[in-house]
Amino acid sequence: MRRTRLAGALTAVLTLALVATGCGSGDGGGGAPSAKPAAAPDRVEPLAAPAAPRLPVTVDSADGRKVAVTSTERIVPLSGSLSEIVFTLGLGDRVVARDITATFEQAEKLPVVTRAHDVSAESVLSLKPTLVIAEGTTGPAEAIEQIRDAGVPLVVVKPARSLADVGTRIDAVAAALGVPDSGTALRTRTQQRIDAVRKTIPGHAEKPRVAFLYVRGSAAVYLLGGAESGASSLLEAAGAVDAGKESGLVKDFTPITSEALAKAAPDAILVMSKGLESVGGVDGLVKVPGVAETPAGADRRVVTVDDGVLLNYGPRTDLVLRSLVDQLYGKKK
């Protein structure tokens, strides 16, 4: 789970369950999508010819400050999404720590300096970073100030909530790293790949209604996503309707009730793979009150995407979109 999108009501409950990533994909095959886990990419793909940083630079931080960056020798990105961007820009060998949500292969052995939503300033500073990159939602505020008070340049990047944010976040990170040309190249590559996936979406008379559920059985957390959940943009790009948003849920998440699910009436349910695992798979998901009574529950139409990439809105967004399209409509033979 990316803390940059799952805000508001979900923020409180996520502190109860440490975030872990998993893989899941369905084969579709023209019928109901399957929730059977399948291997998904667990590596980022760096640019073929990344540029070397041109420093020093002074950049605008999303919290209103101007930050001077003189060295990128020891980088600490404080979210999985930011880590993806740094590694894909070709500077992964300079990253010295990771957030718990950075679970892709190239980063997984780095020391973790956060747990759930809490950054450990002491852990960050012990690694002697020359640049820290944080999300607008990174906290606690005291830890961020402690890092800054120690004289470490810290750049805040606006959180992503839709496909429109992908390019601007890449540009912001690339600027802070002193590699704007690489940022342009990555932004172009990412957009081209997203556009290519969108061209494969089959025409259909009625768009499938998809409800995004955030579930953590171990913590008894069962939430239905609304307009601000972060999933709407992806679902709409995949040619689907966000059933929660369309049913009138204007905030991020609301507790799942039979009434809310009946109003949403989803044809398919999108759930993170670890969430699905936490409730015992599809068999357990349809036992959540109200799920079995929906068209999705009756048909067991469940779409899963790896927790570590679903709402990142970064360089691997095309893979997320491809997974959604394949599961909703069936892979092309």
The alpha helices in the chain, defined as continuous H runs, are 9-14, 80-86, 121-126, 141-149, 165-177, 180-198, 232-237, 243-246, 258-264, 273-278, 281-285, 295-299, 317-329
pLDDT of res. 37: 39
Mean pLDDT of all residues in 232-248: 96
When the pLDDT of each residue in the chain is averaged and rounded to a whole number, the result is 88
Residue matched to tokens 């948003």? 245
Which is more confident, 118 or 46?
46
**How far apart, in whole angstroms, are the C-alpha atoms of residue 99 and residue 151?**
21
pLDDT of res. 116: 66
How does residue 89 score in pLDDT terms, banded at 50, 70 and 90?
very high
pLDDT of res. 29: 35
Which two tokens mark 106? 């190239």
pLDDT of res. 30: 36
- Tell me the one-letter amino acid at 211: A
Whether the predicted pLDDT of 8 surpasses 50: no
Q: Are 321 and 194 in contact (CB under 8 A)?
A: yes
Total-model pTM: 0.84
**How far apart, in whole angstroms, are the C-alpha atoms of residue 276 and residue 22?**
10
Interval 165-202: pLDDT, tens = 999 999 999 999 999 999 999 999 999 999 999 999 98
